[in-house]
Amino acid sequence: MAGRVKKQSMTITEKILAKHAGRKSVSAGELINAKIDIALGNDITAPIAISEFKKVGAKKVFNRNKVVLIPDHFTPNKDIQSATQCKIVREFAKEQKLKHYYEGGEVGVEHALLPEKGIVGPGDVVIGADSHTCTYGGLGAFATGVGSTDLAAAMVTGEVWFKVPETMKFVYHGKLNKWVSGKDLILRTIGDIGVDGALYRAMEFTGSVIDKLSMDGRLTMCNMAIEAGGKSGVIAPDETTKKYTRNRFERKAVYYESDADAKYVEVMDYDCRKIEPQVAMPHLPENTKNVSEVGKISIDQVIIGSCTNGRMEDLEIAAKILRGKKVSSNVRLIVIPTTPKIYADAMKKGWFDIFLKAGAIISPPTCGPCLGGHMGILGPGERAVATTNRNFIGRMGDVTSEVYLSNPAVAAASAILGRVAGPDEVMKRKKK
């Protein structure tokens, strides 16, 4: 009697891709065609995709409910060029009768808005013509950035090709120290492996610390997988995921997890009791240091926001530190809630009063300064602490400016002291 064929073990990433490729299994390195659940574009990348869409003679998108356009980078329009870009996107969305098009008072930073509205969720394959599309892995999806031409092809066919990525497993255990968040875990990880340490690999985050991490923290970690060169970041869905997506996700959630004997190209282990708030020094996210080791570096600006750290949890921490204090006279503090709902909820909780009394500027939802677009450009030689995801040369303005990446607690403390600083420095002063 012939023995049974052993079922192939797979990671969560491989399982999602196999399902969407209509196959029982896939292996790292294989080329596949996969059906997609969501194709995303913004005001920078979508106009190119729309042009290519029209060049091939396409008349209709494959599914008007699955093509999502969010003009969030240069909005509110900062100049004629950005207004023209948005006009192209707006007209295409109306022509195609897209269900998910948001602008004006409804628009939010795409990678915060899509999870909030339940447009993306567990088990999905999501592509976006924006590198930080990998954010949605925090929900248990396979999500990755693509070029505008790939987006155009997907808008026509509803499919895209992938090389199945190898998976790196990152295990976080122990207990998070005070002021340490998902941002610090991912910064520390990137500091260890480098900006190309996970090149075209899926980064799977797991362990007892991840189990207790909030959804905001999970989205933050997966958001920055691309900063390590990753194809995607992913966290297996659990009760936290189910609670977040219940009565929110517009499709049926499908929950995947890696098999116990799944193959990983590498496994890395972290004792989180040894991790303190991190700061990525200019000009790469891998240049990480403990905040206690940075030294007294004076700054000119602080940004709290972006698709990495502009959610409720982030604003709450910033408000806690800024309450009853003033921003340094040498610093411009800009706070950017990432969606209209987050904006409204933060205002209801009284956090806007705290920010305004501290001397902060509150911006409407926008990517703005993160990519050097508007709402906070740096001049020659200026330095900023930012909760954003990149600190490349010229990323936020002049090529001689510098960006220091941190979590919201470090950012708020730095705004008060006028230099890169840890939150304990500020909170201890309060007690005296």
| Close Cβ partners of 135 (under 8 Å, ≥ 6 residues apart) | 111, 115, 143, 219, 222, 223, 233, 307
Q: What is the pTM for the complete model shown?
A: 0.94
Q: How far is CA 56 from CA 15, 49, 52, in A?
A: 33, 11, 7
How much of the chain, in percent, has pLDDT values that exceed 90? 96
Query: The tokens 């997966």 sit on which residue?
Result: 222
All CATH 3.30.499.10 domain ranges of the chain, comma separated, are 12-269, 278-427
Domain 278-427 belongs to what topology? Aconitase; domain 3 (3.30.499)
Domain 12-269 fold is Aconitase; domain 3 (3.30.499)
**What phi and psi values does residue 78 have, to the nearest 5 degrees?**
-90, -20
Strand-pair partners of 171: 206, 269
> Which is nearest to 181 in space by CA: 346, 410, 430, 416?
410
Residues 94 and 48 sit within 8 Å (Cβ to Cβ): no
pLDDT confidence of residue 428: 76
The token pair at 211 is 């189990």
Q: What would the pLDDT profile of 6-52 be if each residue is shown by its tens digit? A: 789 999 999 999 999 999 999 999 999 999 999 999 999 999 999 99
Per-residue pLDDT for 412 more than 90? yes
If you count them, how many residues does the chain have? 432
Element (H, E) at 126: strand 125-128
DSSP state of 63: -
pLDDT at 432: 41
Tens of pLDDT, residue by residue over 306-323, are 999 999 999 999 999 999
Q: Which residue has the tokens 């260890």?
A: 192
Helix (H) or strand (E) holding 332: strand 332-335
The DSSP result for 357-406, as a single string, is: HHT-EEPPS--GGGGT-SSS-B-TT-EEEESSS---TTTTB-TT-EEEE-
